[in-house]
Structure 1
Amino acid sequence: MFKKVGPGVLVAAAFIGPGTVTACTLAGVEFGYALLWAMLLSVISTIILQEMSARLGIVTQKGLAAVIKQELKTPWVRNTVITIVLSAIVIGNTAYEAGNIGGASLGLEAIFGERFIPFYPWVVGFSAFVLLYIGDYKVLEKVLVSLVLVMSLSFLLTAIITKPDILAVLKGVFVPSVPKESILTIIALVGTTVVPYNLFLHASLVSEKWKSPNDLKAVKKDTYISIAVGGLVSMSIIIAATTIQSGEVKSVMDLAKGLEPLYGNAAKYFMGIGLFAAGITSSITAPLAAAYVANSCFGWNVGMNHIKFKMVWMVIVVIGVVFMSLGIKPIEIIKFAQIANGILLPVIAIFLLWVVNRVAVMGNYKNTVLQNILGSGIIILAILLGAKSIFKVIGIF
């Protein structure tokens, strides 16, 4: 099984973090099954963009940042783009790392209780540190695949025990509706699934596993299945959350507490294990993506075991742990990260679409007309949603 799976699982692990769990929980609590279609749209968009990124990575054997840097010939344009990318990815992932570690810590709290709360961030941080320090892609892949399986089963079982109305679920998935005051929740669902740093992570990781365009069929299969499973997990969280009354959910773990009167302690443990797995997988992939981007932007061209590569993810992990252990909530940094990602996604999607259409880069593996139409549609959607999210953060809406 492990020989067949690839970086797609790591991408799925990256987008199903505590932020996704929170957004999906609130979507289910506030709007029932009505926004399941938004998750389906997000998953389809993610598959389209990640397939382009993976294809670029396997054909060029380079990361996305390295290809963009190579293809932008005008120095000031190249330097501006690389600065924006580096700032948004590294600083943004540092902010999100605290949330990832916090989410995994909540999962541990649900499983083991409140007695060891001060130690949980350090346990999560140390676990992520050790796995990244090993510097072996195959080991990292196996650990993350295992955690994703645990997370998937946890959330799927939590959804199943709520005994959902299948017809209502199908209607929510295939009949789009926009309930009153749901637009920001839709933005949150799309924003936590279509993640800019995953485009960099995927392009870099495929070259760790596959070395030839002959493997493109395996790459596509890995991408489609992994991200579809990730979408199924996200939908399961929305479905599970529909059983909770609106006023009862103030944090993610309130979802488990709300299920306890009906299903006993089992739901708490399913949620706790799932949330821990979601947090720790994102705690590994966010620093890893930042290190790959820095590697490409600075032209280091070093492997996972090089000290420069390790220093980038070490700094991000340590800052995340310190923020959580001191109870610091990096609100302003997270606001910056949201604004940066709102700008970054359409910008990166445009550059991605541009480079995968260049014969000099992709040869016979460049985009088809259909892929360009779909990619352009996603870019337009990203621009609209990015503008909305930026306006939300700065207080216009």
Structure 2
Amino acid sequence: MTEALAGRRRGPRALLSFVGPAVIASVAYIDPGNYATNIQAGAGYGYMLLWVVLMANLIAMLFQALSARLGIVTGNNLAELCRDHFPRPVVWVMWGISEVAAMATDLAEFLGGAIGLALLFGLPLMQGMIATAVITYAILMVEQRGFRPMELVIGTFVAIIGLCYLAEMLIAPVDWGGALTGLVTPGLPDTAALTIAVGIIGATVMPHAIYLHSGLTQARATNPTAGERRRLVRFSNIEVIVALAVAGMVNMAMVIMAASAFHQGHAEVAEIETAYHMLTPLLGAAAAGAFLVSLIASGISSSVVGTMAGQMIMQGFLRIHVPVWLRRVVTMAPAFIIVAMGVNATEALVLSQVVLSIALPVPMVALVIFTGRRDLMGAHVTGPLVRGLAVLGSVVVLGLNFVLLAGFFGISVPGLG
């Protein structure tokens, strides 16, 4: 790492020294919430909502790159900067919203891992959740050995998920022409599609990932020089593009698989369990097995990352140290309550993603403000083009949320059925 920062090592070997933060953050973009929204999108609307996945992924790349830059340049994470620079009442509101988002995140991740383990071993869902909690806590202990072992563990899970969906693309009878059309042709045919679109954005551009990435990069180098900081930012941008491109392709593969398998004749498929059981007769046991393995890997890895983000959020806003076990209990409690109440697991997953999308503007707006301040960012302050794109991304998310809430309260939305 020192050699690469000094400019004495170049090329792929130099970049590999800094790979890790974006890989960990990318898990948030392929968590079980994505499975729920993407299955509903593909089964219900075929390839029509692929453009939403692409748009969400491009917004995610921009904001994750800005988050990483903020941590590298300031040496502080986003939550710490919010605490230090915003009025106290605003800080408390932001922390409350962020905690709700963290709980919604953990709800999706816990349920996904639990559903996968329950399907694999024939367990009741509650036992699957307990198993997920134990496995997650054991992996979190790896962090005590430093950031590199944790990055390797999470990177392995990401590789497993990617390979599983590569296999799905080789098995599924994909209409590539239709997929390309859906990717470049924006459209929302009805309010149900709007709800799924907002859920896709909530599942893709994750509030906790924006907070987390700034913390993962803030201590990447000790007292870097101006040149070293510039190289760190460049390496980080490359890593973000590659890691989130992979995550984006996995998300698109989820929609494409659901569209190929379910849209013609099984458009009503909306639940993860149903999708798994129907994949065997439709595409074969290999497709169903790959789906299940990827779901378990997604649930466990994203639950680990969600806990890491929750710790960073609480410690950043409140200036207190939070033990891992306490953070784990705080964020997983709602998931256990919902399962105990008998709420449909996939519906809970989709609604959790809508909650995340509503909470998303809070860190997005804060990030736009901080990265645009020259007194904080110095030479790395965002230029007019990047700042304009960040504002546009925030407006898109805010606009979709406004339309969703208007529909929820019975206010008619022009152009939607």
Pick aligned residue for 1:99 from 108, 115, 118: 108
Are residues 1:121 and 2:141 paired? no
Deviation at 1:272, TM superposition (A): 0.6
Deviation at 1:263, TM superposition (A): 3.0
Change (3 A) 1:191 1:16: same
Contact residue 29 and residue 205 of structure 2 kept, 8 A: yes
Q: Cα deviation per residue 1:123-143 (whole Å; 9 max; x = unaligned)?
A: 110111122234332222111
Alignment length (residue pairs): 385
Deviation at 1:347, TM superposition (A): 3.3
Are residues 1:192 and 2:209 paired? no
Q: Partner residue of 2:139?
A: 131
For the residues of structure 1 that align with 2:348 and 2:283, how far apart are their CA atoms?
Answer: 39
Pick aligned residue for 1:204 from 196, 215, 218: 215
Q: Partner residue of 2:5?
A: none
For the residues of structure 2 that align with 1:342 and 1:215, how far apart are their CA atoms?
Answer: 30
Contact residue 196 and residue 345 of structure 1 kept, 8 A: yes
Q: Cα deviation per residue 1:26-85 (whole Å; 9 max; x = unaligned)?
A: 11111111111111000000111111111001111111011122223xxxxx22222122
Unaligned runs of 5+ residues in structure 1 are: 73-77, 303-307
Are residues 1:176 and 2:197 paired? no
Change (3 A) 1:250 1:335: closer
Q: Partner residue of 2:97?
A: 88
Q: Percent identity?
A: 23
Are residues 1:218 and 2:238 paired? no
TM-score by length of 1: 0.88
Kindly provide the amino acid, as one letter, of the partner of residue 303 in structure 2. S
Deviation at 1:224, TM superposition (A): 0.9
Are residues 1:166 and 2:176 paired? yes
For the residues of structure 1 that align with 2:162 and 2:357, how far apart are their CA atoms?
Answer: 28
Pick aligned residue for 1:150 from 150, 160, 167: 160
Kindly provide the amino acid, as one letter, of the partner of residue 298 in structure 1. L
Kindly provide the amino acid, as one letter, of the partner of residue 79 in structure 1. R
Deviates more, 1:144-153 or 1:309-318: 309-318
Deviation at 1:231, TM superposition (A): 0.8
Deviation at 1:374, TM superposition (A): 0.4
Deviates more, 1:357-366 or 1:161-170: 161-170
Are residues 1:290 and 2:310 paired? yes
Deviation at 1:237, TM superposition (A): 0.5
Pick aligned residue for 2:48 from 13, 34, 39: 34
Are residues 1:10 and 2:24 paired? yes
Q: Partner residue of 1:305?
A: none
Are residues 1:58 and 2:69 paired? no
Are residues 1:269 and 2:269 paired? no
Contact residue 200 and residue 292 of structure 1 kept, 8 A: yes
TM-score by length of 2: 0.84
Q: Partner residue of 2:3?
A: none
For the residues of structure 2 that align with 1:52 and 1:16, how far apart are their CA atoms?
Answer: 20
Deviation at 1:341, TM superposition (A): 4.2
For the residues of structure 1 that align with 2:360 and 2:124, how far apart are their CA atoms?
Answer: 38
Deviation at 1:18, TM superposition (A): 1.4
Q: Partner residue of 2:58?
A: 44
For the residues of structure 2 that align with 1:270 and 1:43, how far apart are their CA atoms?
Answer: 23
Q: Partner residue of 1:368?
A: 383
Kindly provide the amino acid, as one letter, of the partner of residue 398 in structure 2. I
Q: Indicate the SS of the match to 1:380.
A: helix
For the residues of structure 1 that align with 2:156 and 2:136, how far apart are their CA atoms?
Answer: 14
Change (3 A) 1:371 1:199: same
Deviation at 1:316, TM superposition (A): 2.9
Contact residue 199 and residue 354 of structure 2 kept, 8 A: no
Q: Partner residue of 2:250?
A: 233
Contact residue 121 and residue 324 of structure 1 kept, 8 A: no
Deviation at 1:89, TM superposition (A): 2.0
Deviation at 1:247, TM superposition (A): 4.6
Deviation at 1:101, TM superposition (A): 1.5
Change (3 A) 1:37 1:91: closer
Q: Partner residue of 2:415?
A: none
Pick aligned residue for 2:367 from 352, 357, 379: 352
Contact residue 92 and residue 333 of structure 1 kept, 8 A: no
Q: Partner residue of 2:10?
A: none
Deviates more, 1:362-371 or 1:8-17: 8-17
Kindly provide the amino acid, as one letter, of the partner of residue 399 in structure 2. L
For the residues of structure 2 that align with 1:353 and 1:166, how far apart are their CA atoms?
Answer: 37
